[in-house]
Chain A
Amino acid sequence: MAAASMMPIFSQNVSSNSDLVPEWSRQEVSTGTTIMAVEYDGGVVVGADSRTTTGAYIANRVTDKLTRIHDRIYCCRSGSAADTQAIAEVVSYQLGFHSIELDEPPLVETAAHLFRASCYRYREELMAGILVAGWDRRKGGQVYCVPIGGMLVRQPVSVGGSGSSYIYGFMDSNYKPGLSKDQCLDLTTKALTLAMERDGSSGGVVRLATISEDGVERRVILGDQLPKFSTH
């Protein structure tokens, strides 16, 4: 094994035309995405598609973009896969530490501020759009939006990612305050499906999670079970 494992390293490679390695494999992996989070009385519903692309190639068609930050706090990731994974890990650590110090479950607002701190400080280097959503005892279900650049704003419903452009109209006309949990789930599923139909960088399955005082309920809706809309 020792003799056979020497990898030839050629220092002279004057006419290298890397045709053998396709263009897309040299591009950064991005979660061109559709993500969404909705508040209801008693919790939040978060949803995302499952496509990760490297240029035009789908690197992972079953990605989980709903990342656990703490027991009752999740974040939806969009933008560069590497950047968002790294930020989510850093914030999970910081929040976990903070929660142990306080000996109390952390607030969603704290998690959102931690995300904002990282995203704003390193705004030039990072490409990350994140939705922070969860439940805590003080304010119940909350959704915070931390888009690229590091803004922080709380909203009752928020969408993000490249596919979100296609569903703003749908959201504005179909969201009303005071929806129930099942209505929120239904709204999220429909919105994500519509975005996945139109946005090339979104697709795969729909992943949903409901976060409330009782815990986190995760669900996956496979491609053939998605609601059907027809324009023809």
Chain B
Amino acid sequence: MDAAQFVMPRYELTLILKAMQRPETVATLKRTVETLMERGAVVRALESLGERALPYKISKHNVRHTRGGYFLIDFYSSAKILPTLLDHLKRDVDVVRPTLLRTDKEMGSAPYCFPEPPKNKDTLPRRR
């Protein structure tokens, strides 16, 4: 665990973009990644989860969206730029929903979990 890990934690940005034609989507993604890089983030990977129907209709920037393109951006950056970055993304008309998550800390996982011991059957069943 060196100091660099805390200075530049790893984040994942899940971007839901408006359902657009390919060149416009490309332009939006390029814009977003450039914004990230301007603010000193190191972009690690950009994945596309395809364009699909949203699970529920989302209203954003006076438009009711039914379909969207899902994209994941993995990057390292300092934590100071995140509030301004999110603000920037919320103002972008083509972005329906930006969500930022930290992917550093892995939850400790034991090899397997112990099932709870069987409850005493003498007690009466719960009344609902």
> A and B: partners?
no
Chain A residues with CB under 8 Å of chain B are none
